[in-house]
């Protein structure tokens, strides 16, 4: 028996669920196909469980730092089993919400099994033939593991998916890969009393591209965490029940060396779909369409900003256009925003420094250090810096990078300004309370305004004409 539909969606994660909702606005003939489990990477093994672990780490660190405020507290005793019990319990709660949503959709629109193309518009799902007018590929990604490591290390090799099923915390752990996932988990586990060493394959730690801020980040994180840079060509070995790496012994190795798209096994060789030199799908991110075929793609599988809000937006665009096809519409995308929940936090809003340099765009940079910023110093989080980038001539904000306190909040303000097309003066005309961390942003904007050599606004329209220097501005 052959099933027919207007839109078949392969993958029931964030992008797939968003595509399903968007397609169902136009047609009831939608099939959502899932091979493993319903739910999102974010809820199961990503954003939410990692933040639960980080929250526990921050609580432990607050106890350790209390004496700096004159509050005397005992050295924290970490109950690893209790920490992981809360992580698993709350993780399961978040996953439950997602499952409730999917199971609330009509059963006739859900197919469980592994899908593969056998030809244009034709899928096979565990022997079931499905003919679809259009297909959305939203199969996500999985952790990348270097060749031979699994065979060599066996159960002592872990990926981030494994961490959130722990019953207890390990005593020691090597973390290989200093990107977002590796940095967040290494810092959290270190604060929870695990002996951790973070191995970076190159010089970079975290996603910052501004050379000054990247150097500052390396210094800040090296002060807090055992860190080995330029550790390319690592060859971990299993010695008894321990992993030997870099002259140290660890209970296990956590590989956070990136992720790879789940495109294998889909039978894509049956379709003539374009890819770039690295094998990534060539798609229009404003339509979600893969080449000019009735195939759309969204989420982490695209290797384009693997973040939940981006996957949700891309899924909505892909699902909407798949149902409309061939009347494909181009949709706007939000200003980029990326946040790392490290300590200090990292944020990139709008265009990154590297992106601006690559385009050859003329821009100036406003800088501020948080070392003596008033509110940051009050809270003893006065570490890091913020750089804001604005276009020469127009004074329009193009982007920002920062490592420092409240980056998750400042990042939002900056991304909103980029998306609105705010100028530096328009941002300065907005209210800044005192004393708050946001005053650091005002300092950077004032420097940027001066460097841009823009004519001052008329006095009757300028709301930032005072020259008084507030304490810790």
Residue ranges covered by each domain of the chain:
2-143+260-324, 149-257, 337-452
Q: What's the length of the chain?
A: 473
| Rounded percentage of the chain residues whose pLDDT exceeds 70 | 96
Please determine, for residue 466, whether its predicted confidence score (pLDDT) is greater than 70: no
pLDDT band at 303 (very low <50, low <70, confident <90, very high): confident
pLDDT band at 186 (very low <50, low <70, confident <90, very high): very high
pLDDT band at 467 (very low <50, low <70, confident <90, very high): very low
Report pLDDT for 459. 58
81-100 average pLDDT score: 95
Encode burial over 281-319: b for 16+ CB neighbours within 10 A, e otherwise: bebebebbbbbebbbbbbbbbbbbbbbbebbbbbbbbbb
Cα 387 versus chain centre, distance: 20
Please determine, for residue 421, whether its predicted confidence score (pLDDT) is greater than 60: yes
Domain 2-143+260-324 and domain 149-257, same fold? Reply is yes
Higher pLDDT, 346 or 460: 346
β-pairing verdict for 237-239 and 259-261: unpaired
| Rounded percentage of the chain residues whose pLDDT exceeds 90 | 89
Please determine, for residue 472, whether its predicted confidence score (pLDDT) is greater than 70: no
Please determine, for residue 236, whether its predicted confidence score (pLDDT) is greater than 80: yes
Please determine, for residue 41, whether its predicted confidence score (pLDDT) is greater than 90: no
When the pLDDT of each residue in the chain is averaged and rounded to a whole number, the result is: 94
Please determine, for residue 125, whether its predicted confidence score (pLDDT) is greater than 90: yes
Please determine, for residue 292, whether its predicted confidence score (pLDDT) is greater than 50: yes
Q: Within 13 Å of residue 360, how many CA atoms lie on the same side as its CB?
A: 0
Please determine, for residue 5, whether its predicted confidence score (pLDDT) is greater than 50: yes
Q: How many CB atoms lie within 10 A of CB 173?
A: 23
Q: In the CATH scheme, what is the homologous superfamily, with its name and number, of domain 2-143+260-324?
A: FAD/NAD(P)-binding domain (3.50.50.60)
Fold of 149-257: FAD/NAD(P)-binding domain (3.50.50)
Report pLDDT for 461. 56
Q: Within 13 Å of residue 280, how many CA atoms lie on the same side as its CB?
A: 13
Please determine, for residue 468, whether its predicted confidence score (pLDDT) is greater than 90: no
Percentage helix, strand, coil for the chain under 3-state DSSP, each rounded to 5: 35, 25, 40
469 token code pair: 């220097």
List the Cα angle 324/330/332 in 5-degree steps.
Answer: 130
Which one is the CATH code of 337-452: 3.40.50.10070, 3.40.50.1220, 3.30.390.30, 1.10.3720.10? 3.30.390.30
What is the H or E stretch that residue 49 is in?
Answer: helix 47-65
CA distance linking residue 338 with residue 350, whole number of Å: 9
Residue 215 makes CB contacts below 8 A (sequence gap 6+) with none
Please determine, for residue 460, whether its predicted confidence score (pLDDT) is greater than 60: no
Q: How many CB atoms lie within 10 A of CB 71?
A: 10
Smallest CA-to-CA distance from 179 within 255, 256, 234, 260 is with 256
Report pLDDT for 463. 58
Please determine, for residue 158, whether its predicted confidence score (pLDDT) is greater than 70: yes
**Stretch among 79-83, 449-453, 467-471 having the lowest mean pLDDT:** 467-471
């Amino acid at each position: 028996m052959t099933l027919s539909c207007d839109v078949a969606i392969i993958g029931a994660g964030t992008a797939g669920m968003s595509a399903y909702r968007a397609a169902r606005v136009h047609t009831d003939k939608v099939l959502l196909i899932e091979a493993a489990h319903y739910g999102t990477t974010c809820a199961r093994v990503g954003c939410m469980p990692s933040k639960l672990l980080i929250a526990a780490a921050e609580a432990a660190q607050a106890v350790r730092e209390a004496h700096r405020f004159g509050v005397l507290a005992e050295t924290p005793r970490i109950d690893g089993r209790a920490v992981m019990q809360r992580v698993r319990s709350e993780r399961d709660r978040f996953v439950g919400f997602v499952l409730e949503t999917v199971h609330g959709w009509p059963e006739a629109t859900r197919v469980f099994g592994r899908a593969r193309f056998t030809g244009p518009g034709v899928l096979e799902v565990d022997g079931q033939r499905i003919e679809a007018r259009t297909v959305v590929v939203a199969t996500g990604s999985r952790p990348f593991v270097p060749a031979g490591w699994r065979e060599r290390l066996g159960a002592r090799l872990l990926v981030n998916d494994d961490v959130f099923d722990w019953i207890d915390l390990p005593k020691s752990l090597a973390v290989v890969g200093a990107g977002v996932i590796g940095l967040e988990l290494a810092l959290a586990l270190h604060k929870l009393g695990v002996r951790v060493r973070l191995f970076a394959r190159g010089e970079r730690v975290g996603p910052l591209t501004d050379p000054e801020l990247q150097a500052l980040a390396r210094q800040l994180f090296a002060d807090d965490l055992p860190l080995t840079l330029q550790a390319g060509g690592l060859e971990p070995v299993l010695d008894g029940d321990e992993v030997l790496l870099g002259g140290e012994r660890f209970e296990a190795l956590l590989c956070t060396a990136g992720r790879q798209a789940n495109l294998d096994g889909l039978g894509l060789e049956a379709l003539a779909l374009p890819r770039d030199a690295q094998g990534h799908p060539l798609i229009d991110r404003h339509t979600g369409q893969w080449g000019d075929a009735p195939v759309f793609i969204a989420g982490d599988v695209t290797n384009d900003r693997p973040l939940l809000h981006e996957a949700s937006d891309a899924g909505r665009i892909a699902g909407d256009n798949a149902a409309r096809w061939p009347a494909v519409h181009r949709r706007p995308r939000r200003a980029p925003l990326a946040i790392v929940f490290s300590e200090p936090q990292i944020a990139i809003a709008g265009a990154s420094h590297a992106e601006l340099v690559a385009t050859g765009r003329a821009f100036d940079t406003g800088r501020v250090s948080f070392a003596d910023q008033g509110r940051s110093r009050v809270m003893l989080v006065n570490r890091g810096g913020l750089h804001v980038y604005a276009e020469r001539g127009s004074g329009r904000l193009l982007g920002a990078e920062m490592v420092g306190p409240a980056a998750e909040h400042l990042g939002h303000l900056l991304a909103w300004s980029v998306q609105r097309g705010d100028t530096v003066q328009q941002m300065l005309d907005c209210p800044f309370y005192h004393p708050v961390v946001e005053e650091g942003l005002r300092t950077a904007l004032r420097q940027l305004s001066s460097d841009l050599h823009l004519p001052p606004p008329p006095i009757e329209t300028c709301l930032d004409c005072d020259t008084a220097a507030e304490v810790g501005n």
